[in-house]
């Protein structure tokens, strides 16, 4: 009963989503271990658990960050998404000129030994910002100048910079943004 009481007190939201996230996280650990055992044996001089341990630590940190993030008021993320959107534009420009290609992933920064793709930040920021813009303008959603133009402007800027290095990601991001804006059930 202690576990159930702790879960009821500390984990809010949809329990199905939490179970799906935990299940996918556990499956990712198994997939990484299965896929990298031979590589780890060759690269780490017989230590086949190297990538398993590294990925497990990253998954654990990610789940902890997700738990902490769900404790904050969701309106804070609308403000942070706008800041992240403004930050991602210069990062996408910088990585285009000064980024590296690693394992066929184009335009990567190396920070403290780990790779960072500014396009990942830009994708998250754009989708979150569009959701915030739509929520803020839901009373006058039919006003094209007030609602649609800013959304299309941000989509064009972010998807355009991402398309310089990876067109398929930009096209998929644009399709996701278009679905957010035009989905019949979203109004």
Q: Is residue 186 predicted with pLDDT exceeding 60?
A: no
pLDDT digits (tens, 9 = 90+) for 151-179: 889 999 999 988 888 888 899 999 988 88
Q: Is residue 104 predicted with pLDDT exceeding 70?
A: no
CA-to-CA separations, 69 to 18, 72, 73, 77, 116, in angstroms, rounded: 13, 6, 9, 9, 20
CB of 127 closer than 8 Å to CB of 180: yes
Res 47: pLDDT: 72
Res 77: pLDDT: 86
Res 84: pLDDT: 92
pLDDT digits (tens, 9 = 90+) for 115-152: 778 888 899 999 999 888 888 877 776 677 777 888 88
Task: Find the helix packing angle between 74-98 and 149-163, rounded to 10°.
Answer: 40
Q: How far is CA 75 from the centre of its chain?
A: 18
pLDDT digits (tens, 9 = 90+) for 8-28: 777 777 788 888 999 999 999
Split at pLDDT 50, 70, 90, the class of 182 is confident
Q: Exposed/middle/buried for 78, CB within 10 Å: 0-12, 13-18, 19+?
A: middle
């Amino acid at each position: 009963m202690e576990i159930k009481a702790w879960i009821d007190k500390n984990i809010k939201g949809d329990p199905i989503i939490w179970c799906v996230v935990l299940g996918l996280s556990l499956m990712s650990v198994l997939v990484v271990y299965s896929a990298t055992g031979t590589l780890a044996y060759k690269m780490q001089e017989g230590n086949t658990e190297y990538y398993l341990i590294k990925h497990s630590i990253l998954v654990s940190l990610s789940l902890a960050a997700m738990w902490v993030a769900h404790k904050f008021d969701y309106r804070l993320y609308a403000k942070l998404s706008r800041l992240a959107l403004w930050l991602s534009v210069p990062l996408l420009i910088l990585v285009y000129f000064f980024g590296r290609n690693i394992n066929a992933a184009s335009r990567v920064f190396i920070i403290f030994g780990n790779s960072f793709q500014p396009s990942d930040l830009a994708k998250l920021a754009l989708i979150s910002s569009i959701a915030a813009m739509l929520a803020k303008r839901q009373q006058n959603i039919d006003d094209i100048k007030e609602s649609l133009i800013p959304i299309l402007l941000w989509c064009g800027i972010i998807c355009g910079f991402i398309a310089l290095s990876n067109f398929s990601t930009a096209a998929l991001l644009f399709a996701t943004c278009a679905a957010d804006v035009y989905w019949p059930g979203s109004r």
